[in-house]
Amino acid sequence: MARLLEQRYPDAGCELDFQDAYQLLVATVLSAQTTDLRVNGVTPALFARYPDAAALATADRTEVETIVQPTGFFRAKADSLLRLAQALVERFDGQVPGRLQDLVTLPGVGRKTANVVLGDAFGVPGITVDTHFGRLVRRFGWTAEEDPVKVEHAVGALFPRKDWTRLSHVLIFHGRRTCHARRPACGACPVARLCPSYGTGETDPVEAQALVRSAPRR
């Protein structure tokens, strides 16, 4: 199944725009309960105004709120970003740490966010268990676990560590484009013949293809 999905999504990768670990960490925090496309719409202004953790740590809260408002929950997100930046400055000299055990001590950073940063900014393999990834691995029968940490460990045991980051991207792409939560496009799925959940969604090939979403415009 993983090989077939890899063939379907050879361009799978992080859909957040970033240039370094700081930008990816901030963008990932902002991506909660919104789309990557919307985050990409606000981060250029945010990073132009606050190019590093030191600048963001002393930012005016109202100004940050105004910039990130389009992503939703902007007051809570602005607070998270300020506390995150302050912790980076106080404990890591303004630099994003490259270890999971350090990243998860930062305000608002859990294993999911930490694994995104490790995999895409530092090249350290990690499994990112977001809602798409969790939904797909349960539908595929790879694990019955619901807890994200247990899902991470269960799926990690099935694949070589070097493949974890790539696997995460491929499954997230498939979840966003084909294997939707409410109406998966089963009839247009490359792993339909192997999937124990085939039939959960639309099986007619034409109808299913109409459900497949293209890549978001950047």
Query: For residues 217 and 96, which has the higher predicted lDDT (pLDDT)?
Result: 96
pLDDT digits (tens, 9 = 90+) for 63-105: 999 999 999 999 999 999 999 999 999 999 999 999 999 999 9
Active site residue 150: no
pLDDT digits (tens, 9 = 90+) for 117-154: 999 999 999 999 999 999 999 999 999 999 999 999 99
Q: Is the pLDDT of residue 27 over 70?
A: yes
Q: Determine which one of 36, 77, 120, 130 is catalytic.
A: 130
Residue 75 pLDDT:
96
Q: Determine which one of 36, 77, 112, 120 is catalytic.
A: 112
Residue 70 pLDDT:
97
Average of pLDDT values for 172-189? Answer: 97
User: pTM of the prediction?
Assistant: 0.92
Residue 22 pLDDT:
98
On average, the pLDDT of the chain sits at: 96
Average of pLDDT values for 208-212? Answer: 96
Provide the b/e sequence for 87-114 (b: ≥16 CB within 10 Å): bbbeeeebebbeeeeebeebebbebbbb
User: Do the Cβ atoms of 132 and 175 come closer than 8 Å?
Assistant: yes
Domains of the chain from N-terminus onward: 21-122 (1.10.340.30), 182-212 (no CATH)
Average of pLDDT values for 34-58? Answer: 97
pLDDT-based confidence at residue 172 (cuts at 50, 70, 90): very high
Q: Is the pLDDT of residue 214 over 90?
A: no
Active site residue 204: no
